[in-house]
Structure 1
Amino acid sequence: MTMKHTLLATAISGFLAGPIQAGLVISEYVEGSSNNKAIELLNTTDASIDLAAWELQVYFNGSDVAGQTFDLTGNVAPGTNFVFAHSSADPAILAVADQTTGAGLFNGDDAVVLLKGGAVADSIGQVGFDPGSYWGSGDTRTQNRTLRRKAGAVADTNPFDTYDPAIAYDGFPQDDFSDLGKAGGSDGPLEPETPDLTCGAEATRISEIQGLTDQSPLAGQTAVIEAIVTASFNGDGQLGGFFMEEELQHRDDDPRTSEGIFVFAPNLDVEAGQRIRIAGKVLEYQGLTELTDIIDSTLCGSGELPPPVSLTLPRPDLDSPEAFESMRVIFNEALVVNDNYDLGRFGSLTLGSGRHFIPTNVALPGPDAALVAEMNGLDRIILDDGSNRQNPAIVPYPSPQLSASQTVRAGDTVNDLQGILDYRFSEWRLQPTTAPSFSQTNPRPTEPRLKERGNLLVASFNVLNFFNGDGMGGGFPTARGADNPEELSRQTAKLASALAALDADIIGLMEIENDGYDNNSAIAELTAALGSEWQYVNPGLTQLGGDAIAVGLLYRADRVETVGSAATIGAAPFNQLNRQPLAQTFRLIGSEDGLTIAVNHFKSKGCGNADGANADQGDGQGCWNPERTQAANALADWLANDATGTGEQDVLIIGDLNAYAKEDPIRALNARGYQDLVAVHEGEQAYSYVFFGQAGYLDHALANEALAGKVKDTSIWTINADEPRALDYNTEFKTPEQQASFYAPDPYRASDHDPVLVALEMDTRTAADRADLNGDGRVNGRDLARFILATLFGKAPAPTYDINADGKVDGQDFVALVHAIRGQ
């Protein structure tokens, strides 16, 4: 026995004391979609069992410590069942549940133990062992399946031994709970009367069931319908049912009522085009009207599929899809992919008639932003994959399947959209009946696009939690980022590929591990991956503030040099929520024209502990907006007072400010004289980040007045935000084949933010060149007279009078001019 099992046995003494003859066994296990989780217990004795001494324990993800313990209550009569379920399960489960909980129950890789007085009565799974995703194989496994105990199967009273559910259980499809609560799996409640399944007899029309609202007027009642099967999704891991639609001659001609319905019947095999007469109970399940608890059905021949209804986006109002719920529909125009975040996990894409933008990226906070949000909400539908599977082995979009080289990006378009209009998980969805086609209307950019590069290129890049353990191959898992050395290697390769392709001279980083600046630090490891010409700025601190992540600065030591020392500020508002900024003055090697770069990462929009003015005000700016605005003003004050102590006047603010273009922090910096370079050069619809299918930029570059004239171009390299997250470096929730096929050591999906580039043209002239004010090739008294006359009469001197290239014209330029004359 391993040490883990020894400790576990000590902690739960009595587990291995021998099997008990308790009389309760686990007779059914339901591990369905969403919260469809239940454990059924069967009293195998001829006496009633009081549950006061009984409990269920759940051990999560291979843990040897119970993550949940549920004390059972009530009595179980002889030969009857007791059902313990999640309180948000399907109504069909709740209808037979004896006890429920709102706490998290189990997934396929979690062990479940039934105890009486601390002794094991029965178990499913193996405590202290993580099977990956499930125990078992094929149809008989503990994930996405229902398991029913075989006749004569004995209880498993050793929860530590290897586990195979096929020994004691038969497997049934996901979300099949038709036998739940029926003693011995056979004697369920009797129907009060036998439904008439004679083909062509009187039946309830589907439009009567659907009604005029989102709630069926017949909910809870038994109904018999006879209609055409339009699509079946009863395969392995699919929806567990099929859709039916009323034939044309039986429709009510009321455009407000739907003529389609979903039939939840996991064990009933049907085909599109069949006419079925079927009896069951009408239920509203999470907003979808369905027929469930099927009593019986009859095949009544076949018929033509009703023609699909043509739909367009945006829809006129939020309720309009109700009239077409569960019906065949078609979109005749191409739709745009707005979100692919859940493509790898659920096989779904969010579509719209056009690209959606974060409201406060294109409109002022408040009513204007609310109007944009409303329009975005009316212009969306989920393209689903007809299944309830999580992390499917084959991700179907784009056809034939997703891979690192075959991607679907936000901004791409989808054609040939035809299927069933469905409603699940609070979203309207299209369950396709024909394969959609994809057009790469937003192809991957192979390199950054700049109209002019200038002679100094600055980039800003949020590297999405680059943590390197202890820096020596160990120390995993860390608080964030890679879980193991393999993932770190994959992450490093992608980031290095992206950073190198920027071909920048200076790069500001966000979300790098805040673990100091020695040779084992995260910033040292990432810098080394770029090559020996790269160095990082070391502010001379053990770490930059107290947050888990920090900002950083990298630079090409063969192209630029630092001036003076790095600077930061740890006082409020940078002492708790906003990360400390880092400022450093740089200049091109051989040039006297420098600039100060301040890299930042303001407080996120997450609402944890936010209250008062920092709570979400409903204006589109999220939580902590005042905190970010204070940071913006404090940053401007700090930089205005020569933060680096070099006297440099040219200032560039870069970083993830966690504020979109029209929000208060950015407008505060605009008011302080900082120009939004992304807005100027990329326009209002620029973006570096996609959140819930809406694009905008949190990643900024802002130049003060002294520097703005030297900016030649600003660009966002869209390599990350448009890509599916499934293509990142992570290995979890991916099959071994996907770990290989989804990954490439290229720049794409190296992070969730896109890098921003700023091209500058710095003055590379010598002081003597700048001193030749009249352009006659000599520096003499005539240049001195020109300078004196310009300043003596109070005229605003042109930048060409900045002899010492410190960003201002003052007495120091007079001194520099005199020295230049003397040097001739």
Structure 2
Amino acid sequence: MIKTKFTPLALLVAAATAPVQAQVIMSEYIEGSSNNKAVELFNTSENAISLDGYTLSYYSNGNTDPSNTIELSGEIAAGGTYVIANSSAVDAVLSAAQLTTGGSWYNGDDAIVLRNGDTVLDSFGQVGVDPGSNWEGNGVVTKDKTLRRNIDITTGRTTFDATFDPSAEWTQFDKDDFSGLGSHGTDTGGGDDGGDGDDGGDDTPAPLVCGDAATAINAIQGNADESPLKDQVVTIEAVVTADLQEDNQLKGFFVQSLANDMDDDSMTSEGLFVYYKDVDVNVGDQVRIQGTVQEFYNATQLGNVTQLAICGSAEVQAQMLTLPVSEVSDLEAVEGMLVRLSNNMVVTDTYNLGRYGEVGLATERLYQGTQVALPGEAANTYEAENAKKYLQMDDGSTVQYPATVPYPSTTLDAYNTVRLGDTVSNLEGVITYSFSKYRLHPTQAPAFINSNERTEQPELKGEGDLRIASFNVLNYFNGDGQGAGFPTERGAKTAEEFARQEDKLVSAITALDADVIGLMEIENDGYGEHSAIASLVAAVNAESANTYAYVDFKAPKVGGDVIVTGIMYRTDTVEEAGEAAFTTEAPFDYYNRPPIAQSFRKLDNHEEFTVAVTHLKSKGCRSSKDDNADLGDGQACWNAVRTQGANAFADWLATNPTGNDDADVILVGDMNAYAMEDPMRALEAKGLSNVMTHLDGNTVSYSYNFSGRMGSLDHAVASASLLAKVTDATDWHINADEPRLLDYNLYQDYDRKYAKPEGLYADHAYRASDHDPVIVEIKTEAAEPPVDPRPVIEAGQSFDVAENTPINTAIGMLKFSDADADETPVERFIVTGTSAISVNEVGQIVVAGELDYEFDNRIEFMVQAQDSAGNLSEQVQVVVNVIDVKQGDDNDDDDDSGSLGWLALFAAPMALLRRRTK
């Protein structure tokens, strides 16, 4: 869509920028993967120029106002370059840069304008126009490419709103080709593969004569990083060791010295790459070649080939190579040579297996430096040793996302995979150097050995009775929750992809068989019927033998990020035992996701515990600065923010945010910090110990793989009381060890141009995410029954008392109990139903009125105890039996009735009166 509406300000600026003779122009444009973006400026003049007042502005999506303006500084030498790079780019870009900055950078459909004050000096793209995904002209595109300004262009393009054809002034190179950065006007290799051999003169070159004197390859290679014969025309005679001449390959071949031409210097290579495809050669051909010595991407090659003659055939014996080397630079001595590795190698990286046919190999599994060593010197030393053990295997193809994946030896599919930790034998090929890595281009098919078997479920001792897990579900976004609403901000692009993603996650979660699961990277869309967490739990329940529920934090969103953490739990084993809690207070208002926590009670033994979930700031360097920049200690960017988050999380947990004060606490989640980094040591200092480290006695666990290095970003840390109950823990390696090619996506690339080959998807657990789940097994202890603070009076109590017993006489002791008498003792007893009997504060039954057998020989009343906290017992009935006491029972034989009869008649009315007033 083209947008041509300009603001008055934009029109004014455009009018004020009449063409001028620019002395500084843009000479290279890099729009690479991730944050690999850079602009190179070139000083066309004969004098140094101060860049004070110069700016570089980016205009995104057809806007006429810049989305980012960078103020330049410093000086650009005469005929020199000045590189502005994204601060999160790779080292190959940053090492060439004079200025690095974060913030919002351009994409392939954005425009760039270089100004000195208000004067436009140069432009790239067309301001005010949205071309779609990129500008394109004659096959030259501006997205995912490196473009270099043609050498004959010395004046900037000052009409920044004019139609833009990138092919008019720019030459296209591959994505992430940084070989020419910082050196405009010099030969960057790879371009001229010989042509017709015309050197521009009138004389026909003398024909090549096989066997004549020739320049030795070891003299071309030299024993330094760069050839001593660079830019010189030479003639060599050598043997072809690897043929990669096709257009979808390297467009050239490798040669190696004849036996008689080799020298005794172990530091000089006897191999060389020839960039030439016009004459077909085969492995074993002895060839004589005339061409120019070049350095292409820091590798020596022969280019601008003018003549090639095939002189016959010969054999080359592969040189034995053993890793690790003493220094990485030692591989320079075999650059371009045919080698055979003396040792089997271990697969350490498959990230670009499906894209470029690359497999990272090493002598052993390699760990992140800060997983096993303290940040700083120790971690950097460890990483330096890693580099000596590593070699990249490359199929030599330049095709991105080929229909056939080259490794393993048989076809890669969802069930026949290449896992990290597998071993590779029969390694023979040529060594080359490109994209900052030494590579092996195999000349024989390598043999893959399945040394790291998949497991169908986590392998644990099974001694516990409670499982707590942590699982990063890789941007689980469910659209509108009703089958539509795709694409979403993250995650699956279509409903079909979402179904594939969900099936894999459900397979993994059901196999975990965990009682409580902490979730990361789930859509932050609340807890309603159609929310992401409701969708995931419903899907699990449809397939699992267990029944799960999720913790409802009763908020439309938790924090401001698009992703959030969550908790799901088995309703047949645990129940919530506190209030679901979270906080968005600093440092959880930005960067670190808000902490969440919920307490649970185990149904069978009433054991209580608290589960908290975290997801700290990632290691990406976008907009990082000061203490949060990459300090070179192995902890990458945002370490200060993560450490602050770890400390604050522990402090928040210490306040018992769920209202449950049980000491058993476990914190799980994606800490984005390896085991020896500052955030993990901060948690340890706060009393939350790393469960895996505690069990293993070391830090060589892993849940993630980055750049061929293993490490744990996902952790479980526990309080001392809970740690004592842990019986086992493991990372279930269903994701980190698997090629990303096996995930749920239908396409291999972000722009969805390259569909995945058939057979790579299955609805099993493998590559359900990029992080491995962590599972902790716990042996709980039966909790003591809760104390009922209410007093208890024993039922069925009765007492006997003789009639006419004096008032205030204690006739017995009430039987009662009080479980917490030490804290809240019984203070009084409440009697209802009689006034003749009372119970005092210690529980004695006391005569409170006159007792007469003839009037009432059984007194029934209710008693209730009350303690100092106001707790009341149940009302209990108590009986007092009044015993008849007769006068003169021991003189029954004497008949005194005659003499006393008149007294009885006199007393009768008095007795009636007494009873009536009782």
**What's the TM-score, normalizing by structure 2?**
0.66
Give the secondary structure class of the aligned counterpart of 1:445.
Answer: coil
Query: Deviations for 1:408-440, whole angstroms, at most 9, x for unmatched residues?
Result: 111111000001011111110000000000111
Q: Which of 727, 736, 739 pairs up with 1:712?
A: 727
Report the counterpart of residue 697 of structure 1 in structure 2. 712
Distance 1:32 1:296, change over 3 A: farther
Residue identity matched to 1:719: I
Q: Which residue of 1 aligns with 2:590?
A: 576
Instruction: Return the alpha-carbon distance in structure 1 between the equivalents of residues 635 and 671 of structure 2.
Output: 12
Q: Pick closer, same or farther for the CA change 1:32–1:291 going to 2, 3 Å.
A: farther
Listed one character per residue, the Cα deviations across residues 747-785 of structure 1 (whole Å, up to 9, x for unaligned) are 1111111000011122345618999xxxxxxxxx9x999
Structure with the larger helix share: 1
Residues 747 and 754, structure 2, Cα contact 8 Å, conserved in 1: no
Tell me the distance in 1 between the aligned counterparts of 2:725 and 2:481: 40
Partner of 1:738: 756
Alignment of 1:598-677 (within 5 A): 598-677=612-691
Alignment partner, residue 445 of structure 1: 455
Q: Does 1:250 align with 2:261?
A: yes
Look up the match of 2:609: 595
* 2:361 paired with 1:351: yes
Q: CA 1:293/1:656 → structure 2, altered by over 3 Å: closer, same or farther?
A: same
Query: What are the ranges of 5 or more consecutive residues in structure 1 without an aligned counterpart?
Result: 12-30, 36-58, 69-85, 89-103, 111-126, 137-141, 145-173, 772-780, 789-814
- Which position in structure 1 is the counterpart of 2:495? 485
| Correspondence 1:687 to 2:697 | no
**8 A Cα contact 2:32 2:144, kept in partner:** no
Give the equivalent residue in structure 2 for 1:433.
Answer: 443
Q: 1:681·1:715 contact (CA, 8 Å) conserved in 2?
A: no
Shift of 1:452: 2.2
Letter in 1 for 2:424: V
- Asked if 1 retains the 8 angstrom alpha-carbon contact of 2:666 and 2:722, the reply is yes
Deviation sequence 1:772-799 (CA, Å, 0-9, x none):
xxxxxxxxx9x999999xxxxxxxxxxx
Give yes or no for the alignment of 1:229 onto 2:240: yes
Aligned to 2:223: 212
User: C-alpha displacement at 1:313, in angstroms?
Assistant: 1.0
Structure 1 residue 526, shift from structure 2 partner: 1.2
Q: Find the aligned partners of 2:106 and 2:306 in 1 and give their Cα distance.
A: 30
Q: Distance in 2 between matches of 1:254 and 1:681?
A: 51
- Whether contact under 8 Å (1:595, 1:648) holds in the other structure is yes
C-alpha deviations, 1:671-725, integer Å up to 9, x for none? 2222211112344211001111111111111110121222121111010001111
TM-superposed CA distance for 1:558, in Å, is 2.3
2:429 match: secondary structure = strand
Deviation, structure 1 residue 595: 0.4
Match of 1:294 among 305, 319, 342: 305
CA distance in 1 between counterparts of 2:380 and 2:661 reads 44
- Deviations along 1:506-526, one digit per CA (max 9) or x if unpaired, are 110011111222222211211
- The alpha-carbon distance between structure 1 residues 204 and 450, as it changes in their structure 2 partners (threshold 3 A), is same
Aligned counterparts of 1:581 and 1:354: Cα–Cα separation in 2: 37
Q: Quick one: which of 721, 745, 767 aligns to 2:736? A: 721
User: Does the CA-based 8 Å contact 2:746-2:755 persist in structure 1?
Assistant: no
Q: Please identify the structure whose Cα radius of gyration is greater.
A: 2
Mapped to 1, the partners of 2:413 and 2:765 lie a distance apart of: 15
| 2:350 alignment partner, one of 318, 340, 347 | 340
CA contact (8 A) 1:195 1:224 kept: no
- For 2:482, the equivalent position in structure 1 comes to 472
Judging changes above 3 Å, is the alpha-carbon distance between structure 1 residues 195 and 404 closer, same or farther for their aligned structure 2 residues?
farther
Structure 2 residue 772 is the aligned partner of structure 1 residue 762:
no
| TM-superposed deviation, 1:176 | 8.3
Query: 2: distance between equivalents of 1:453 and 1:343?
Result: 40
Quote the Cα distance in structure 2 between the aligned partners of 1:407 and 1:326: 30
Q: Distance in 2 between matches of 1:333 and 1:135?
A: 48
Q: Aligned residues: percent identity?
A: 45
Letter in 1 for 2:291: G
Whether contact under 8 Å (2:198, 2:306) holds in the other structure is: no
Contact 1:233 1:242 in 2 (8 A): yes
4+ residue segments displaced more than 6 Å: 7-11, 31-35, 63-66, 104-107, 127-131, 133-136, 185-188, 734-737, 768-771, 783-788
The code of the aligned residue for 1:382 comes to Q
2:373 alignment partner in structure 1: 363
Residue 252 of structure 1: how far off its partner (Å): 2.2
AA at the equivalent of 2:767: R
Aligned to 2:765: 747
Alpha-carbon contact 1:179-1:188 (below 8 Å) kept: no
Paired residue for 1:82? none
Instruction: Report the counterpart of residue 510 of structure 1 in structure 2.
Output: 520
- Once residues 504 and 670 of structure 1 are traced to their aligned partners in structure 2, the CA distance between those partners, rounded to angstroms, is 25
Q: Within 1, Cα distance between the matches of 2:578 and 2:622?
A: 39
**Counterparts in 2 of 1:730 and 1:195: CA distance versus 1, 3 Å:** farther
Contact 1:731 1:739 in 2 (8 A): no
- Whether 1:303 aligns to 2:301 is no
How many angstroms apart in 2 are the aligned matches of 1:757 and 1:289? 50
SS at 2:727 equivalent: strand
Query: What CA distance in whole angstroms lies between the structure 2 residues aligned with 1:539 and 1:738?
Result: 39
Whole-angstrom CA distance in 2 between matches of 1:765 and 1:404: 46
Q: Structure 1's 365 and 736: CA in aligned 2 closer, same or farther, altered over 3 A?
A: closer
Given that 2:732 and 2:772 are in contact with CA atoms closer than 8 Å, whether structure 1 keeps it comes out as yes
Structure 2: any 5+ residue segments left out of the alignment? 7-29, 37-58, 67-82, 86-104, 111-129, 146-176, 178-188, 790-814, 823-868, 877-918
Question: Offset at 1:631?
Answer: 1.6
Structure with higher RCO (Cα < 8 A, 6+ apart) = 1
Answer whether contact 1:351 1:381 (CA < 8 A) is retained: yes
CA deviation after TM superposition for structure 1 residue 186, in Å: 11
TM alignment of 1:128-207, pairs within 5 A: 177-178=191-192, 189-190=200-201, 194-207=205-218
Partner of 2:400: 390
- Report the Cα offset of residue 251 of structure 1: 1.5
Equivalent positions of 1:250-329 (< 5 A) are: 250-304=261-315, 306-329=316-339
> Is this contact kept in 2: 1:457–1:757, CA < 8 A?
yes
TM, length-normalised to structure 1: 0.73
Equivalent AA in structure 2 for residue 332 of structure 1 = S
Give the Å deviation of 1:648.
2.1
- CA distance in 2 between counterparts of 1:195 and 1:427 reads 39
Equivalent pair of 1:228/1:274 in contact (CA under 8 Å): yes
- How far apart are residue 224 of structure 1 and its match? 1.1
Contact residue 134 and residue 143 of structure 1 kept, 8 A = no
1:573: how far off?
A: 1.2
Q: How far apart are the structure 2 equivalents of 1:241 and 1:33?
A: 25
| Residue identity opposite 1:702 in structure 2 | V
State how far apart, in whole Å, the 2-side matches of 1:503 and 1:715 are.
13
Using the alignment, how far apart are the partners of 1:753 and 1:425 within structure 2? 27
> How much has 1:607 moved relative to structure 2?
1.9
| Shift in alpha-carbon separation, 1:663–1:217, aligned structure 2, 3 A | same
Once the two structures are superposed, residues 152-211 of structure 1 have per-residue CA deviations (whole angstroms, 9 ceiling, x without a partner) of xxxxxxxxxxxxxxxxxxxxxx9985499x9xx998734877255111122111111111
The AA in structure 2 aligned to 1:278 is: I
